Structure 1
Amino acid sequence: MLIKNNDDGFIHPVASEITPPAAYRGRRDLLKAMAAGAAGPVLAAWASREAFAQTQRPGKLAPLPGARSGVAGAVTMEKVTDAKDATSYNNFYEFGTDKGDPAKNAHTLKTAPWSVEVEGLVKKPARYALEDLVKLSAQEERIYRLRCVEGWSMVVPWVGYSLSRLIEKVEPLGNAKFVEFVTLADPKTMPFVGSRVLDWPYVEGLRMDEAMHPLTLLSFGMYGEVLPNQNGAPVRLVVPWKYGFKSAKSLVKIRFTEREPKTAWNKAAANEYGFYSNVNPNVDHPRWSQATERRIGEDGLFAKRRKTLMFNGYEAQVAQLYAGMDLKKNY
C-alpha cells in the first residue's frame, strides 16, 4: 500500500504477539492424498482453522497442501522473504495504521464460520462456505514479488488458485466488465473499523480481464500454512503486478458489475491512488518517487535500494492487458 511510513523503517511487535515463525517455515509438498484424488477431504480438514487450532500447540496454524505452480511466470528464483517479516510488517487498517498493529491486534478476527457471497451480473450467484470455496481447485504454491508499501517489497510463497476458476464457475454475463471485492468490516472484531481514515467496508476492484488473468490469485495460505489473521485470513486476493492495497484481505463478497467500482483508496485520495495502481517506476506518487524500493528484511535502512520493475517484474505476462493505454494517466 502506498502509505508513507514517517521514519521509513520497521515497526515490529514483540515476539509474544505474533505467530511463532516455526509455524510458517515448513514448506509442504503436495500431499499424497491429493495425488490420489482425495483433495476435497484434505482441504476441508484445514478449512475450519479454529477447530484445528484447538488440537494443536498455541499459535500453530494448519498445514496447507500445495503444489508448485505451473502458471507461466508465477514463480521467481529470488530469495523468499523471511516469514517473520512478512507476518509482522503489514497494512490492514481495520486493525490499526502502524505497520505492527495488525500482528498485535488481529487476533480478535473470527475466521470460522466464514462465507463469501458472489453476486451481481452472473448466471450462478451463490454464497460459498469457506470449505466449498477451497475445494473449487487444487492448491498451488506461487512465489510472487509483491509490492506492499511505498518503497518496500517482499517475495512471498502464497498458496491458492487462479481467481479465474471461481469466475468461470459462476458464469459472468456479457455486460459484466468489472469485479468488485468487498472485505469484512466488523467493528466488534476489527477495532479500527469506523475510523475516519477510510470509508468502510474496504472495497477494491479489477477489470474483468485482470481478474481472469492466471496470475490473479485467490489465496488461502502462505509459507505452507493457512493465512495468519494479519495477512488477510481466511481468504484474500493477490494481484502481484499491482501495489499491495489492490489485494483485498478477508473477503466476504465478490460482485460483478458493468461500471468501474468505487475503491477505498481512490475515494480517499483520487489524486494519489488510481483505479489501476499498476507498479510503475515511471509514475511518481505526488509526494515521493516510486523508481526504487527496498526489500523487506534486507538490512533495513542501510540496504541498497533496488530499481522498481515495471509491473513488479511481470511485464512479459501482463503488459498486453494495457496495450494502447496511457499508464501515466491511467495510474
Structure 2
Amino acid sequence: MLIRTGRDGFQHPIASEITPRAVYEQRRSLLKLMAGGAAGGALAAWVGREALAQAVQRPNKLAALPGAKSGVAGAATMEKVTDYKDATTYNNFYEFGTDKDDPAKNAHTLKTRPWTVEVDGLVKKPAKYTLEDLVKLSAQEERIYRLRCVEGWSMVIPWVGYSMSKLIEKVEPLGSAKYVEFITLADKATMPYVGSRVLEWPYVEGLRLDEAMNPLTLLTFGMYGEVLPNQNGAPVRLVVPWKYGFKSGKSLVKIRFTDKEPRISWNKSAPQEYGFYSNVNPNVDHPRWSQATERRIGEDGLFAKKRKTLMFNGYEPQVGQLYAGMDLKKFY
C-alpha cells in the first residue's frame, strides 16, 4: 500500500526500489575517491572483477573431493573464509597472464587429464605417478589456511589435500637429499604466456627438505570441497601457508630431490626482491613496498582497512623452530 505524505503527490518507494545501505555506502566511498581523483584504477578493477566473477562462477559444478576436517595442529583458523568467486577470479598464475583476472579468463585451455607427476633425484624409489595414484596415496583433509601474497593481499581458503610428507616418505629420500624442487608444467599450446620474458620457464620453486616435511605443507588437489579450478593450479599444487604465495607451485609435473638449493624462478628473475625462503615477515619489506600490513580480498567491501601482517602468516608456533638462529633479513 502507498502512503501519501503531507506533500502533494509524494509517495514512499516500495522496498524493492530502495538501494541497499551497503551498496549506497560503497557508492558514496567511490564518489569521495573520484572527487579526489584517485578512484579510476580502483573502480575499473573492482567492476571488472565483479563482471568476471559472474562469468566464471562454476558453469559446470566441479566434482566433489572428499576430505575430513584436519587434525593437524595449526591447520585451521576462525577467520571468515574468502568467497569462492574472489578466490577464483583474483589470482597469480603467470603462465596465463600477468593481470590478476587473466588466469580466470585464460586457464580454460589447460588440459588436466591425463596427468603425471614424476618424482626423481636423490630418492630410493623414483616414480611416475598418475594423478589418480597420487590422489589415492593418502587420506585427504580439508585445511583452512591463510594465503598471503607478496603484493600485500591475502585470502583464507579451505584447501583439500594431504601433508607433502606422505609422498616424501613413500619415495624414501637419500641421506644426501637436503632440498625439494617443484617444477610446473610449461606447455605453450595450453598456457598462452609461457615463453613471455617475465620469467624463465618452466616455473620452478623449492623448499628445504625439513620445510617440505612439515605437517602444514600440503600437496593439494582441491579447494572449497571441490577439485581445483584450472586458474588455481589444477590438477595438483603445493600450499605452504607460512610463505608468500608464489612459493606454492601450481600444476606440478615434477618433484626433484637434490643436495643443492634450487634456483627458483622469482629469485633468478629478481634476486634483490625475492629470496629463496620468502617467509611471510612484517619486519622485512619488499624493496618497493612495505610488508607490515595486508589487504584481505573481499573483506568489508572495496575500501577495507588493511590489517597487520602476522609473522610467518600466523603459523609461527608450528614453523618458527625451522629458522632458529637464522638471520631472517639475510635469509629472506
- The bucket for the TM-score relative to the shorter chain is 0.7 to 0.9
Q: Secondary structure at the match of 1:230?
A: helix
1:220 aligns with 2:258: no
Identify if the C-alpha distance between structure 1 residues 220 and 185 changes in structure 2 by more than 3 Å, giving closer, same or farther.
Answer: same
Q: Secondary structure at the match of 2:149?
A: strand
Structure 1 position 19 matched with structure 2 position 57: yes
Deviates further, 231-240 or 298-307: 298-307
Query: Alpha-carbon deviation of 1:19?
Result: 3.4
**Which residue matches 2:162?**
161
1:61 aligned partner: 62
What corresponds to 2:145 in structure 1?
A: 144
Structure 2, gaps ≥5 residues long: 1-39
For 2:189 and 2:86, locate their aligned partners in 1 and report how far apart those are by CA, in whole Å: 27
1:310 and 2:323 correspond: no
**Relative to structure 1, is the Cα distance of residues 290 and 122 closer, same or farther in structure 2, using a 3 angstrom cutoff?**
same
1:272, CA displacement in angstroms?
A: 0.1
Task: Give yes or no for contact 1:235–1:249 (8 Å, CA) kept in 2.
Answer: yes
Corresponding residue for residue 292 of structure 1? 293
Paired residue for 1:277? 278
| Other structure's SS at 2:167 match | helix
CA RMSD of aligned residues (A): 1.4
The secondary structure found in structure 2 opposite 1:277 is coil
Q: Tell me if the contact between 1:181 and 1:203 (Cα under 8 Å) persists in the aligned partners.
A: yes
Match of 1:265 in 2: 266
Check the 8 A contact 1:17/1:104 in 2, yes or no.
Answer: no
Rounded to whole Å, the distance in 1 between the matches of 2:311 and 2:53 is 35
Where does 1:114-153 land on structure 2 (aligned, <5 Å)?
114-153=115-154
Instruction: Map residues 43-82 of structure 1 onto 2, 5 A cutoff.
Output: 58-82=59-83
Go from structure 1 to structure 2 and tell me whether the alpha carbon gap of 1:17 and 1:189 turns closer, same or farther (over 3 Å shift).
Answer: farther
- The whole-number CA distance in structure 1 between the counterparts of 2:57 and 2:318 is 34
Secondary structure of 1:90's aligned partner: coil
SS at match of 2:104: helix
The letter for the 2-side match of 1:184 is L
Tell me which residue corresponds to 2:89. Answer: 88
How far 1:301 sits from its partner (Å)? 4.6
Alignment match, 1:23: none
SS of corresponding position for 1:261? coil
Q: Residue deviations 1:154-195, cap 9 Å, x none?
A: 000000000000000000000000000000000000000000
Question: Aligned equivalents of 2:169 and 2:268: distance in 1?
Answer: 30
3-state DSSP class of the match of 1:166? helix
CA deviation digits over 1:97-156, x for unaligned, max 9?
000000000000000000100000000000000000000111100000110341111000
Counterpart of 2:82, as a letter, is T
The answer to whether the Cα contact below 8 Å between 1:17 and 1:103 also exists between their aligned partners in 2 is: no
Q: Describe the shift of the 1:204–1:91 C-alpha distance in structure 2 as closer, same or farther (beyond 3 A).
A: same
Is 292-301 or 135-144 further displaced after alignment?
292-301
Amino acid at match of 2:56: I
**Aligned residue for 2:172?**
171
After TM superposition, the score normalised by the length of structure 1 is 0.85
* Equivalent in the alignment of 1:193: 194
Q: Which runs of 4+ in 1 moved over 2 A?
A: 6-11, 13-17
Q: Which residue of structure 2 lines up, in the alignment, with residue 43 of structure 1?
A: none
**Aligned ranges 1:100-111 → 2 under 5 Å:** 100-111=101-112
2: CA distance between counterparts of 1:89 and 1:141? 22
Kindly provide the amino acid, as one letter, of the partner of residue 102 in structure 2: D
Q: Which has the larger radius of gyration?
A: 2
CA distance in 2, matches of 1:7, 1:150: 17
Once residues 83 and 174 of structure 2 are traced to their aligned partners in structure 1, the CA distance between those partners, rounded to angstroms, is: 42
Give, in angstroms, the shift of residue 16 of structure 1: 5.5
- Residue 14 of structure 1 aligns with an amino acid whose one-letter code is L
Partner Cα separation in structure 1 for residue 54 and residue 71 of structure 2: 37
